[in-house]
Amino acid sequence: MAELHPQITVLAPLLGTWTGSGSGEYPTIDAFTYLEEVTFGHVGKPFLSYSQRTRSEAGQPMHAETGYLRAPAPGRAELVLAHPTGITEIQEGTLTDDGSSILLELTATTIGLTSTAKDVTALTRSIRVTGDELTYTVGMGAVGQPLQHHLSATLRRKDA
């Protein structure tokens, strides 16, 4: 494997495959639970690759997204994602490393929608890694609803 680019060494705690479960809610849908697998990888360039897949507890595919995570400057992070539902997002925000965990606090600066995509107007993500545990929350404003909590999950590093 290629050596980690020096610009993203602060993101090293994210590397690997993470699995676990989460739950979601939104005023326009029934609450739900899901199983998830997330992988962060690298090829020696100044970004991490990101792949995410969820499925129902019965094993049915639910959601997927793919993209890239960058740390362009100290304390800053950028996440670029594509969803198969016709949505793209660019999120920017802060990256904090307190020595025992890293925390990304991101807000969408751009949301792209195909003509058939759900009307999404706001997205936020908070991702924390402490050792072999990754937790996150996602906020969403969509289909006429204001920005609010949508998803949360706890994942464990696979083969840890």
* Binding-site positions for heme b: 28, 118, 150
H or E segment and range at residue 58: none
CA distance 58 to 48: 31
Length in residues, the chain: 160
C-alpha span between 20 and 23 (Å, rounded) = 11
C-alpha 7/C-alpha 24 separation (Å) is: 34
**CB-CB contact of 69 with 78 (8 Å):** yes
Residue numbers belonging to the annotated binding site: 28, 118, 150
* 144: three-class secondary structure by DSSP: coil
